[in-house]
Amino acid sequence: MNTYQGFNKQELNYSDPLELFNSWFEEAKKLEINDPNAMALATANKEGFPNVRMVLLKGVDTGLVFYTNNNSQKGVELDQNSNAAICFHWKSIRKQVRFKGKVSIINSEESDSYFNSRPRGSRIGAIVSKQSSILESPKTFAEEYEKYSKENENKDLTRPDYWVGFRLIPSEVEFWLNSEFRLHQRLRFKLDSNVWTKNYLYP
């Protein structure tokens, strides 16, 4: 590895951080061994107590889209506090991207479309799971899953109201490049009056 790795000219020419993110994401999809769309989602409840977990990115448009049970811990926290943060770490290509922004529920049509694209087993799991609530034992969930599967074997599966998509619209995005001897590079995009500004940050 070179002692000093910098952003290339094309990367520095991007005025929209989502365009640069898409460029890095395409690279990660080719070179990251496991789940390049895995991201750490940080939320906070109404008291401001933080929480973080891994979820999967399922779309990039005006923001970052992911899906979950709205009754889950993260769903409840996002209802109480719409501010959230996301971090991607692609170890194979030695890059990170961090997002800050507000999260909102996407429209029903988008959620329906993605839900219906999932394997039937995954849809049943989403319907049956009382995500984040106390479970007597893993066996209980397995039995509930099997029971629902048999009872609905020849039926169409409809997305439950509590299983929804969320979109984080970024107000700040930071790109991080690894180099030796802590000569890492950090490039931050920050939204100011609907215009993205760029600055380097010390590592």
Q: How far apart are CA 89 and CA 191, in angstroms?
A: 22
Residue 84 bridge partners (DSSP) = 101
Q: How far apart are CA 14 and CA 8, in angstroms?
A: 11
Rg (CA), the chain: 19
Contact 183, 3 (CB under 8 A): yes
163: how many CB neighbours lie within 10 A of its CB?
21
Helix, coil or strand: residue 187: strand
Q: How far apart are CA 88 and CA 37, in angstroms?
A: 8
182 is an active site residue: yes
The catalytic position among 53, 159, 182, 186 is 182
Q: How far apart are CA 124 and CA 150, in angstroms?
A: 11
Q: How far apart are CA 81 and CA 43, in angstroms?
A: 8
Helix, coil or strand: residue 80: helix
- Which active-site residues does the annotation give? 182
